[in-house]
Amino acid sequence: MKSKNISTISIDPFSIPLPSAAMSNKARRGYTLIRAFEITALAILILVGIAGATPFAYVTSPGVDTETVFVIDTATNNLTALVPVEGWPRDIAVNPAGTKVYVATPGFNPTISVIDIATNKVSATVDVGSYPLEVAVNPAGTRVYVTDRDSTNISVIDTATNTVIDTVNVGLSSHNVAFTPDGKKIYVTNSFNNTTSVIDAITNKVTATIPVGDSPYEVAVTPDGNKVYVTNSRSNNVSIIDTATDTVTATILVGDGSSDIAVSPDGKKAYVANFRSNNISVIDTTTNNVTATVPVGIIPLGVAITPDGTKVYVTNAESDNVSVIDTTTNKVTATVNSGKYTINYPTKVAIGPILDSDMTDQGVKATSNATEDAGIEKTNLSSSEEKNVVESNNLNNNISESDNGNRSGENESSKNNSTPGFGLLGSLVCLGGGWKFRKK
């Protein structure tokens, strides 16, 4: 029998030679089920191995000799790369595909710097308003919205052409912007007007203006899209907006100088950086109560959560480092200020996604092709046997999407950071399952 390959993993050791001429229908069915099981199991191992890779954190900083973006390997918590940008890097966002980083860089030449993640180099710059403050990418990855400290306009960038295609007039000194998960609504904080504007993402028109606290700075939307959290830096509190009614339903007192905020991927917690009290407030989003206060460095300005929800990264501007918080214990477990480079005055942080739908689609397609090559014939299966094969294929299609394995340059160090021990365990499961099928 010829060897069949999925990626670089041979499935030959799991196959058994059966002469097709003498093979009974019962034997053929059993052989078909064995091949379906083995191929699905191997696909699971491949996809899980890739999905176990860790993302990178991107930190804005004035740098030592030049304005920079630092790259942190979240597996080792070391600084692994430095990307020079134009102007003073103020805010940062990663697109959903994990291929581009957008950096708001005010200064003498106010622009948005576009960093190619594969090369860790600036691939384009986009001229925007006079003082770009914050930047956000829509869920589809097709538009970038940039707030401007010195005007009432938000610049809208087409990511395909890296050009400004529209402006949206909101409140004076718009500060931060965030999208609902469905991409239909946009929430913008207006620090001088003490309001939050609601924008229809289709028409780019303001549909509501919501009064919040004093000097609203940052904004975050829960993963289910039901609530919006707005930090009010001079009120030292957080306003909670119901997205169904666009009204404030609760206010939570946090630390002194509430600035950045991030909501966990499961939507259960929100983390608020308090830059005047040098700590992080942890909010239970179900009860809207502060359940923990975590001391960090001096002047924490930025906060971001890893896609798996296990770590929170906090930029401490005056401490020249980044605190890493364990979300289970609410304790700082690491401080990032070493590695290939030394960080200087970090301001904001964004973390790339783990998931990459392209790689998952390729893996599923490869599995599908291998299944066809293996000679699986639905016409030879009974209804119950066919159901088993269909369920196996559905399991394969529901595997979580994989991490981008095509990163190069300084990101090479984390390509192989897969889940420890899973490959061995998975192999044993496959062998055991295959043995049981053969025995039957």
What number is the average pLDDT over the span 188-203? 94
**What's the number of CA atoms in the CB half-sphere (13 Å) around residue 325?**
29
Residue 199 has pLDDT above 90, yes or no: yes
pTM: 0.71
- Dig out the tokens for 131 from the structure: 């003082």
pLDDT of residue 38: 54
Please, are residues 114 and 97 in contact by the beta-carbon 8 Å criterion? no
pLDDT of residue 67: 81
* CATH homologous superfamily for the domain 56-357: YVTN repeat-like/Quinoprotein amine dehydrogenase (2.130.10.10)
Average pLDDT for the chain: 77
pLDDT band at residue 35 using 50, 70 and 90 as cut-offs: low
pLDDT band at residue 149 using 50, 70 and 90 as cut-offs: confident
pLDDT of residue 39: 52
pLDDT of residue 37: 52
Q: Which of 149, 83, 153, 90 is nearest to 118 (CA)?
A: 83
At position 392, the amino acid (one-letter code) is S
Residue 184 has pLDDT above 80, yes or no: yes
pLDDT of residue 32: 54
List the single range of 187-196, 235-244, 334-343, 354-363 with lowest mean pLDDT.
354-363
- The domain limits of the chain are 56-357
Write phi, then psi, for 394 (nearest 5 degrees). -65, -40
Please, are residues 7 and 358 in contact by the beta-carbon 8 Å criterion? no
Q: Compare 137 and 41 and report the one with higher pLDDT.
A: 137
At position 195, the amino acid (one-letter code) is T
- Dig out the tokens for 18 from the structure: 């059966």
- pLDDT tens digits, residue range 267-300? 999 999 999 999 999 999 999 999 999 999 999 9
At position 291, the amino acid (one-letter code) is T
Exposure b/e, 255-292, CB count within 10 A at least 16 = b? bebbbbbbbbeebebbbbbbbebbbbbbbebeebebeb
